[in-house]
Amino acid sequence: MGIEDLTRAGVQAAVQEHDLLGPADFRAQYGQDAESGHWLILDGRHYDARATATLGHQYSSGAAAGTGTFHGDENTLVRQLRALGFTVEESAPATEPPGTSEAPQLVLQPRGTRDGGPQNFAKSVRRGVRVSELRKAIGPGADVLDGLYPDGIARLWGSTPTTQSNNEKARALRDRRVGDDILFYTGNSFIARARVLRLINSQEIAQEVWGADESGATWEHIMALGDVEEFAEPVPAADVLDELSVPRPLRSLTVRSAQDYARVAGLLPPGQNPRPAYGSPPGHRRDRAIGRAEVLGRITALRTRHDLTGTPSRHEALAVLWVIGRIAASEPRLAPWSLFRDEVGALLAEFGLPESPVTPEYAFWHLRGSGLWEIHGIPENLTSMPQPGDFNTAQPVAGLPFEVARILQEPETRLRALVELRSKYLPDIDLQALLGRLGLSGYLTAEGLDEEPVSKPGRKSREAKRATGPAGRRTSTSSSVVRDAALAAAVKEIHDHRCQVCGTRLAYKRNPYSEAAHIRGLGTPHDGPDELHNLLCLCPNHHVLFDGLEIYVDGDDIVQETRGGKSLGRLRRHPDHPIDEKYLQYHRTLCEFNS
């Protein structure tokens, strides 16, 4: 694939996404750290040419970044954009276009109910810390606070480091930024809100303000806060956390995107220090934010009969399932008509109803009315479906709207969507064959797909042949999930290697033996976290049954067989081993999908 694959429809879709995100977030999300020096001008607005074309090329080709990225110098890019009918100039815009300020993310910060949480909040947030006292104690290191706090009172909060590289806290420490809004959480409520003025890493400041714990750790990842606002009454947090797919209770520093924040803003009290409006430019229509429940509701309302022939149809359901497979594989949410025609057409031929015609153009066009689809490159005022030849000429791109795709990137919501699609539209389908065609085979097991298989068994492997020497070797390159051995050892030690289902304590070579099982698998497409709250201590038998979706833990902690409903007793708990109910619910839903 080259730059010649770039289409006008793909660029138009990228421009709309630029308007939605704003230029800074748009460039950051699509791999452009700085402006390219050329500007695409559309409707009087300026768009960074390379960043826009980079995303436009993904939508034009249907290929994810890195698999079909175009190459070439700036002049080649400019010539292609101009050939598509766009105006491209070298001069930068005289003024920043409206609506381009960077939107705040949402930082969820547990205050804690013990270990000094309430006292520290009162000391360093409510009352604040005198900058002059910090300067006496730590010297010039406090100078960074002078410009932030003209009244001389610093409002600070911090976090201890984490030894893991990709858990929720590590991602939050990495992703938070100046300008973000913070919600302080305790007792399943939000008690205060503030704004990040600066991020400071300083053990010296942290030790002076909060001291250190028994291990010598201190809250060295510091946020300097402004616009601190304590709520008159605690604000219930359940609806916000559920909408953001954040486990309850909130245990870790967590960051959610600006788009997520905008989606739940209506569930929070209006701020005393409101921000300037952020979003689309004047005159640009932007759909209101939607939530998980509405997306699932739209999925259950798909058409089940073909409008043109009146016959039963799986067209829309299979098309939505196809694009969900693309989302799970981190492929672009929009794809060109040619790719849709070939791949969805093949799905309809194999998995559609026998009496239903194979017309992929029907789903491509009529899904527009579902609220789950958008099309670029076809005039919006058309009242009748274009002919396949018209699609071939126009080269439109289509797929999930930005907000819908973002919601379906959440593994829990995506799995629930698959359950709805299968139970309502595809109950008697060969699930293994269909998921294999869509690259969704990871949903057939609880652990998901960790790495590519080395070999596949075939007919010859079953022939009775005597070996003539050592087994052969094959060199391969693969990637696998990195697991924290210390966490696995910890859950086994807590339970003294006894299975939480049957209580068995095995011995192997005179040592106790048990296995650590992840409840929501780490592999694709589950992408679960490697943390103690997501682990069980099981014997090998029940580990296999749990991963194979043959048993699950119900809402009352009873271990049930998936087929037949036989109870195996209550899951053994331990006070030193908290288990997040959200992960058990995910596993139950996975069993439901496969049952």
Q: pLDDT tens digits for 556-573?
A: 999 999 988 899 999 999
Question: What contacts 80, CB < 8 A, 6 or more positions away?
Answer: 3, 4, 6, 53
- To which residue do tokens 């409002």 refer? 155
106-110 and 181-186: which strand pairing? parallel
Both 181 and 315 in one domain: the answer is no
Both 120 and 262 in one domain: the answer is yes
Query: What is the chain's percent helix, strand, coil content, to nearest 5?
Result: 40, 15, 45
pLDDT of residue 457: 35
pLDDT of residue 163: 85
- Alpha carbons 504 and 305: distance in angstroms, whole number: 53
pLDDT of residue 119: 92
Domain termination site, one of 442, 473, 508:
442
pLDDT of residue 278: 30
Q: Which helix (H) or strand (E) holds 100?
A: none
With a cut of 50, which residues of the chain have pLDDT below it? 68, 95-101, 273-288, 451-464
Both 50 and 153 in one domain: the answer is no
Is residue 479, in this structure, part of any structural domain at all? no
pLDDT of residue 314: 93
Is residue 96, in this structure, part of any structural domain at all? no
Work out the angle between the directed axes of helices 411-425 and 315-328 (0-180°, nearest 10): 160
pLDDT of residue 274: 44
Pair of tokens at residue 412:
């829990």
HSE-up of residue 459 (Cα within 13 Å, Cβ side): 0
pLDDT of residue 63: 87
Is residue 237, in this structure, part of any structural domain at all? yes
Is residue 100, in this structure, part of any structural domain at all? no
pLDDT of residue 103: 78
Both 65 and 166 in one domain: the answer is no
Pair of tokens at residue 78:
């400019």
Both 67 and 14 in one domain: the answer is yes
pLDDT of residue 21: 79
Is residue 536, in this structure, part of any structural domain at all? yes
Both 22 and 110 in one domain: the answer is no
Both 82 and 138 in one domain: the answer is no
**Of residues 364, 234, 237, 371, the one with CA closest to residue 291:** 371
Is residue 277, in this structure, part of any structural domain at all? no
pLDDT of residue 194: 93
pLDDT of residue 522: 92
What CA–CA distances, in Å, run from 467 to 34, 463, 470, 474, 568? 60, 12, 8, 17, 43
**Of residues 85, 81, 32, the one with CA closest to residue 57:** 81
What's at 485, amino acid-wise?
A: A
205 with 141: CB under 8 angstroms?
A: yes
Is residue 447, in this structure, part of any structural domain at all? no
Domain count for the chain: 4
Q: Which helix (H) or strand (E) holds 191?
A: strand 189-201
Both 241 and 312 in one domain: the answer is no
Residue 32, number of CB atoms within 10 A of its CB: 18
21 with 55: CB under 8 angstroms?
A: no
501 with 557: CB under 8 angstroms?
A: no
pTM above 0.85, yes or no: no
Burial class from Cβ neighbours inside 10 Å (0-12, 13-18, 19+) for residue 433 reads exposed
Is residue 545, in this structure, part of any structural domain at all? yes
Which domain covers residue 66, as residue numbers? 3-89
Both 234 and 119 in one domain: the answer is yes
pLDDT of residue 483: 80
Q: What is the CATH number of the domain that holds 242?
A: 3.10.590
- CA angle, residues 130, 133, 138, in degrees to nearest 5: 125
Domain termination site, one of 30, 54, 89:
89
pLDDT of residue 408: 93
Both 123 and 178 in one domain: the answer is yes
Both 110 and 253 in one domain: the answer is yes
Give the pLDDT confidence of 184-238 residue by residue, as tens digits.
999 899 999 999 988 888 899 999 999 988 888 899 999 999 889 999 899 999 9
Residue 220, number of CB atoms within 10 A of its CB: 19
Straight-line distance from the first to the last Cα atom of the chain, in angstroms, rounded to the nearest whole number: 41
Helix (H, G, I), strand (E, B) or coil at 571: coil
